[in-house]
Structure 1
Amino acid sequence: MKRCRRLFPAIGLAVALPATVSAGTAPATLDAVQVQAARVHAVDDFDLPASMTSVGVDEDGAGRGALVSEALGGVPGLLARERQNLAQDTQLSIRGFGARSTFGVRGVRLLVDGVPATMPDGQGQLSHFNLLGAERIDVLRGPFSALYGNSSGGVVQLWSADGQAGDPWRLRATFGSDNSRSLGLQLRGQAKAMHYNVAASDYRTDGWRKHSAARRGSLNARLGFEPAPGQRLDLLFNVLDAPHAQDPLGLTAEQARTDPRRATAAATQYDTRKSVRQAQAGAVYTLDRERRTWRLMAYAGQRTVEQFLAIPPAAQANPLHSGGVIDLDGGYGGVDARWAWHGALAGRPLELVVGANADGQRQHRTGYENFVGDALGVKGRLRRDQRDRVGNVDQFAQAWWQLGPRWSLLAGARHSRVRFRSDDHYIVAGNPDDSGRRDYAATTPVAGLVFRAGEDLRLYASAGRGFETPTFNELGYRADGGAGLALDLSPATSRNVELGAKWRNQAGARLELAWFRADTDDELAVAGNIGGRSSYRNIGATRRQGVELGWLQPIGESQQLQLAWTRLQASVREGYFTCTGLPAPCIVPRNPVAAGSALPGVPRQQLHARWRWQPGPWLLAVETVAASATPATDLGDARAPGHALLNLEASRRWPTAHGPLRLFARVDNLLDRRYIGSVIVNDGNQRYYEPGPDRGWTLGLQWQWAPR
């Protein structure tokens, strides 16, 4: 925590700078340079052989503005589910990758302003994504995700807006159901040579379910400087403070049916909760010289987590048990350097990108009993004390070449090496030294071809490989109940193919269609839940295949229709045995999962449709969100039924002498349907279900004004 606090003065300075630097004549803005993997300088995403969706973060939105899932509903292939539980992160999966995660985000790579929000072991968090200062969110799906490294079944990147002279400042406040309220302030603009975008927000709620109250404060700052023509330096600061978020835990099918707002009895008995604090800073320097572009990025941060679990004292009597309180304190950071060349080969445009990056994380993990005598839900005796380190060193290269008037090629490869090390400092009778280490390495090539079938039509095909290491949490416990890390776990490897078509016209209509398949070997899955902790194993071969459709259709000058539909079949290709189901707990897997069984956490179909109408100062929207049944276990003996929800939005804007004022309102689940919002895959207590809220409302006010 001490190291975390050291970053706060610097971040406070970042907030103060825009107000203290006087305005002046600003130099010309440097054009945005795309030198990240899978994107090409001066080439539209429309001409790349990949499924890539850019979602503008609407300043005219009518939601709470506090949760990333609000902005990701219209992306094909992506599933973002809020759990009505801010002690747990958003459930995020892309084409089925990451759907099994019971904690955080895994299998999907996360970045904010080019800085990784996924740690080297593949574990990521969405909680510090700040929507108030965001301009857009890019979502990459398919084979080219592998160019981002370990655990890249898909990529989600949030980009903050670049402040420009004359940009308005913004104050936004909302109030809604369950005493939910948010307050946010954004300062954006340009002061002399500095472009600034500083956004601070505070969100609080009593929670729809009992024992789910939470508070989340967030600050994000992006300060841009142009020291000379062709040069750009961005300084990035981010703070998250989420203290004492209550965890209502999952419910059984009967509990969810009779009283979906209840909390599990153990949640109140043990006062299950989590507190998170994170602070980080980064810098990105870009130098653009005619045909060459250099980019250097460096970042560092500190994150602390304290979580109280509902593990009974009897389970902690085992000398190998690590206790019912998790306490993490660690730092992380990394560097990324890349060089791009824009030229020609055989008279045709060519771009080359080569680079390398290294990331590291050091974490002090301690565990304590969650009881003292008869008092439950309090920190007791030390039961775990270890120092964990994980780091990666990657090298990558990418080339884009216009083969001919109608053909282009994009190809690349990445070599990754990930190293885990754990040093055990809790060595007592019955609990031996659990120290260990494990290295993983893989090379992931990918290539794609685009055919320009017409001025408004592109056809493409791509193929590649990917890999996913176990995270530190998955290495933490052995499936056989023995002491030490699960160092026998292998990385999951995948073979990915995609065929697609993209169409657009001058009126702004867009249509994207993609067929995809991903075959995975050594899939990582839950082996069992014993004494409140999960262990993992490699289960063999799986397949994820399906179809995505994205459609955007303007209707006249004031209306717009948006549609995103996904059909996904995620299944087991080779049968295996599991410990999930009854009897539980178990150490030796004995329940057969047959080939062809559906992977849990993945609905077969999902749909998002939105109609928007903007007559004059008014803005009206109708939204439909639907998903088919979602399996909750490997055995398929529990599933959440499908559902369809209807949401409404309305807002009106009034001009004032000091800037426009906007009043907005939103109603979610207008028809007041009962449904399961998310599932906890393979929960050992069969509490698989997290119910979604009934009809809810949000009312908000936003004021924008021009600073002097």
Structure 2
Amino acid sequence: MRTNASYTLLFILLGIPQLLLAQITVQGRVRDARSLRPLEGAAVTANTGPQALTAADGSYHLTVPDTTAFLLITYLGFAPDTLTDLQQPGVRQTLLQPTVAVLQEVQVQGYETNRPLLQTAGAISVIDSEVLNRFDESSLVRAVNTVPGVRMDERAPASYRLSIRGSTLRSPYGIRNIKLYFNGIPLTEANGTTALNLLDPANIGHIEILKGPTASIYGAGTGGTILLEPMRLNQGQQLEVNATTGSYGYRHYGASYSAGSEKGNLLVQYTRQQYDGYREQSAVDRKVLLLSSEFYTSAKRTIAANIIYSDLYYELPGGLTREQYAQNPRQARSGMFGSVAQNASITQDGLNIGLKQTYTFNSNWRNTTAIYGLHRFKDNPFNTDYERNTDQEMGGRTSFVHNSRVGSLPVTYTFGGEFQRGFQTARTYDNKGGTPDSLRTDDEVVSKAGFLFAQAEVELPAGIIATAALSLNDAQYQITRLRQALTGNGYQYTRNFNAVLSPRLALLKPLTNQVSVHASISSGFSPPTEEEILPSDGSFNTGLEAEKGTNYEAGIRGFAGHGKLNFDVVGFYFRLKETIVSRQDLSGVAIFRNVGSTRQAGLETSISYALVNDPALPLSLLKVWGSYTYSHFRFQDYQKDATDLSGNQLTGVAPNTATLALDAAAKNGLYLNVTGNYVDEIPLNDENTVFAASYVVVGARAGWRKQLAKQLALEMFVGGDNLTDQQYSLGNDLNAFGGRFYQPAPDRTWYGGLSLKYKL
């Protein structure tokens, strides 16, 4: 018996290592594939039974039998993922793709607080890659116009005009009164304008829109702020090629290399877009090379760099009268000074280089500093003149974030500044059949713009978040006229817009863990742009003053039904003084002036509901969503010559707009996106005697995504725009001389294409 017991003990001792080898420990980290933030509480379940939940940093440790085939990782609002090859050593990185945009999970930069949208006090809308990819890559217009309170027009293909809460009023063309940043680096120039059309829509993967005066963090502005982010691959390496073709000679080609890891990410992307045009003199040819990188050089330092080179040519068909618009909307402006006869067009070459560093000193201090430089050449034969401009600019932005406490209350302080200096040589000639003739004016313009800002955000009891912010804004133009045709004399003119303090106060209160309310008061200061002070007719608009306004708003946002229902409602009242409006003169040049004031009250709503959201079902996604905007915008104290226009509707603003959309996807890779957009009638002159008719347009895109092999994925798609075949004007000329108000949009159009992705 003793011998048998000895054998038994020896067998057990020899078997213990084998028992230990029969189990393995898997370590990993789970993060959001879009924001890269860790996901706490994700379930990690082995097919053999053991389960663990991720910690606050997204990490987990799970001991499982060595016979385990896979781990299933799940998290509410994200597509599940599986891990195989569990014998591989090291910490595994899992990036979960969001499915339904649950508000408590949608992280926004906002006012540099980087909080979930549900905890951010302010009217912020997000356009993610899912919305951008609903449409072809010819334009951002259709994606941006799904956002309540925001309006984007194209007076001609690639000729963007952007409005937030009525700021179209002072933008007969281009983008003004709105600040744009690309990857945290200023895209708006010191002279107040933004050449957004130098970017291809395919360069942009994420958009945040902050509406109304953003005061503190982003300085001067009464319209709003837009934050653009490039496409990013967070894990692995990928090559992608795509091509799209469509009606009226539309072609779009793209090729990119992207890589992502724990050490950083890199995107190299080349795109080309060509379009023969729906109208006469409306062709486009744009080539863009983008390099965007972000490197995590240490646990404390992140360095990012952007290089954007763009070569853009687009034609300007010009506005039509109501009779021409009804007779033949495809024609261009005609006559001796017609668009075809004068080759009305714009050629722009631009190079924008930006560097950004984020350095975390410790758990309480962080700094982000960006510097940039740009060079841009513009050649613009117009109907009545010919402009040739060269711009050079440099600037920088820095912000510090300090986490502290006041007693027992957590407080975050953010402070810093931004400065830009631009130098432009601007020459205007007579236009002789599309070539420069006699010199009219020769100017040099130095633009300077800067501001300092400070913000304190405190977390009060009952979950209330209070924010107090202040910015000090300054702007200056130094114009040197080297020569003027009529006199031959030159002179200098300097215009300072004195430093103005712009405050912002905001409160947010969570009603439940699913619903929050917010309210804010903010003021804005918006000096005229260089093009408003120095229009192309050669005059100096010396009397033009900066706009100043105060905005009051309150809103509620939240979700219900485990994230299936999302809603966001904001009401606001905006009082603007020294409002800048535009009016065309006899030659078609836009001239600007201040009017007394405007009163702008509005309601912005958005809602979405996911009827089905389960990747395991044959119909894996069925979602409806939409937005509605009501704008009660009126002039006040507006006296034009002997006519009192007080009480009239704001020019260029539709009282009602709405979007309704449907998304459907199947497990086999088929998908369908349908989008309908309604726009109410729009007043086209300050007198409110001419209106653009209301319209409804519908677009759709259907496609099929298939993983052909482990490394190769294919997408094929077809789509159509303006399926209702509406005749409408997208980008009306406001207060146009000679009744040339209308810029017709294309009729029913079609497109189709494919994309190939290869994982290296």
Aligned pair partner of 1:201 in 271, 290, 297: 271
Q: Aligned residue for 1:190?
A: 260
Q: Aligned residue for 1:496?
A: 551
C-alpha deviation, 1:28, in angstroms = 9.3
Amino acid of the structure 2 residue aligned with 1:552: S
Kept in 1: contact 2:214–2:225 (CA 8 A): no
Q: Aligned residue for 1:350?
A: 411
Alignment of 1:282-431 (within 5 A): 282-288=354-360, 289-311=362-384, 324-371=385-432, 376-427=433-484, 430=487
Alignment of 1:186-585 (within 5 A): 186-190=256-260, 193-243=263-313, 245-265=314-334, 266-288=338-360, 289-311=362-384, 324-371=385-432, 376-427=433-484, 430=487, 432-440=489-497, 441-477=499-535, 485-505=540-560, 506-526=562-582, 529-557=585-613, 558-577=621-640
Kept in 1: contact 2:696–2:724 (CA 8 A): no
Kept in 1: contact 2:172–2:590 (CA 8 A): no
C-alpha deviation, 1:150, in angstroms = 2.3
Q: Aligned residue for 2:59?
A: none
Kept in 1: contact 2:212–2:222 (CA 8 A): no
Q: Aligned residue for 2:694?
A: 642
Deviations 1:2-42 (CA, angstroms, capped at 9, x unpaired): xxxxxxxxxxxxxxxxxxxxxxx999999xxx99771314x
Alignment of 1:623-702 (within 5 A): 623-657=675-709, 658-702=711-755
Q: Equivalents in 2 of 1:282, 1:137: separation in Å?
A: 19
Q: Equivalents in 2 of 1:381, 1:28: separation in Å?
A: 65
Q: Equivalents in 2 of 1:591, 1:189: separation in Å?
A: 64
| Percent identity (aligned) | 21
Structure with the bigger RCO (C-alpha within 8 Å, sep 6+) is 1
Q: Equivalents in 2 of 1:29, 1:431: separation in Å?
A: 69
* SS across alignment from 2:202: coil
Q: Aligned residue for 2:175?
A: 105
Q: Aligned residue for 1:597?
A: 648
Q: Equivalents in 1 of 2:169, 2:255: separation in Å?
A: 34
Kept in 2: contact 1:162–1:196 (CA 8 A): yes
* SS across alignment from 2:323: helix
C-alpha deviation, 1:179, in angstroms = 0.9
Q: Equivalents in 1 of 2:205, 2:117: separation in Å?
A: 17
Kept in 2: contact 1:370–1:378 (CA 8 A): yes
Kept in 2: contact 1:77–1:95 (CA 8 A): yes
Q: Equivalents in 2 of 1:543, 1:232: separation in Å?
A: 44
C-alpha deviation, 1:240, in angstroms = 1.3
Deviations 1:292-319 (CA, angstroms, capped at 9, x unpaired): 11111000010111111111xxxxxxxx
Amino acid of the structure 1 residue aligned with 2:624: L
Size of the aligned set, in residue pairs, is: 647
Q: Equivalents in 1 of 2:91, 2:119: separation in Å?
A: 34
2:210 pairs with 1:115: no
Larger Rg: 2
C-alpha deviation, 1:209, in angstroms = 0.8
* SS across alignment from 2:136: coil
Q: Equivalents in 2 of 1:403, 1:370: separation in Å?
A: 63
Kept in 1: contact 2:239–2:758 (CA 8 A): yes
Amino acid of the structure 1 residue aligned with 2:125: T
Kept in 2: contact 1:660–1:704 (CA 8 A): yes
Q: Aligned residue for 2:227?
A: 157
Q: Equivalents in 2 of 1:164, 1:534: separation in Å?
A: 46
Kept in 2: contact 1:133–1:197 (CA 8 A): no
Kept in 2: contact 1:285–1:297 (CA 8 A): yes
Please tell me the root mean square deviation across aligned C-alpha atoms, in Å. 2.4
C-alpha deviation, 1:573, in angstroms = 1.1
2:145 pairs with 1:73: yes
Q: Equivalents in 1 of 2:407, 2:690: separation in Å?
A: 59
* SS across alignment from 1:76: coil
Kept in 2: contact 1:572–1:597 (CA 8 A): yes
Deviations 1:577-623 (CA, angstroms, capped at 9, x unpaired): 1xxxxxxxxxxxx3524211011111111111110010121101221
* SS across alignment from 1:285: strand
C-alpha deviation, 1:668, in angstroms = 0.9
Q: Aligned residue for 1:582?
A: none
C-alpha deviation, 1:432, in angstroms = 4.1
Q: Equivalents in 2 of 1:221, 1:277: separation in Å?
A: 17
Deviations 1:437-473 (CA, angstroms, capped at 9, x unpaired): 1111211101111111111111111001101111111
* SS across alignment from 1:435: strand
Q: Equivalents in 2 of 1:146, 1:639: separation in Å?
A: 37
Q: Equivalents in 1 of 2:270, 2:315: separation in Å?
A: 23
Q: Structure 2, unaligned stretches of length 5 or more?
A: 1-89, 96-106, 614-620
Give the 3 Å change call, closer, same or farther, for CA 28–394 of structure 1 in structure 2.
farther
Give the 3 Å change call, closer, same or farther, for CA 330–218 of structure 1 in structure 2.
same
Q: Equivalents in 2 of 1:526, 1:60: separation in Å?
A: 32
Amino acid of the structure 2 residue aligned with 1:491: A
Kept in 2: contact 1:133–1:198 (CA 8 A): no
Kept in 2: contact 1:98–1:107 (CA 8 A): no
Q: Equivalents in 2 of 1:462, 1:328: separation in Å?
A: 41
TM-score scaled to structure 1, two decimals? 0.87
Deviations 1:240-286 (CA, angstroms, capped at 9, x unpaired): 1113x221101111111111111111111212111011111010000
Give the 3 Å change call, closer, same or farther, for CA 467–192 of structure 1 in structure 2.
closer
Aligned pair partner of 1:170 in 223, 240, 259: 240
Give the 3 Å change call, closer, same or farther, for CA 254–60 of structure 1 in structure 2.
closer
* SS across alignment from 1:621: strand
* SS across alignment from 1:690: coil
Q: Equivalents in 1 of 2:515, 2:475: separation in Å?
A: 40
Amino acid of the structure 2 residue aligned with 1:358: F
Q: Structure 1, unaligned stretches of length 5 or more?
A: 1-24, 312-323, 578-589
Amino acid of the structure 2 residue aligned with 1:302: H
C-alpha deviation, 1:135, in angstroms = 2.6
Give the 3 Å change call, closer, same or farther, for CA 559–448 of structure 1 in structure 2.
same
Amino acid of the structure 2 residue aligned with 1:113: N
Kept in 2: contact 1:54–1:137 (CA 8 A): yes
Q: Equivalents in 2 of 1:81, 1:429: separation in Å?
A: 37
Q: Aligned residue for 1:132?
A: 202
Q: Equivalents in 1 of 2:213, 2:316: separation in Å?
A: 36
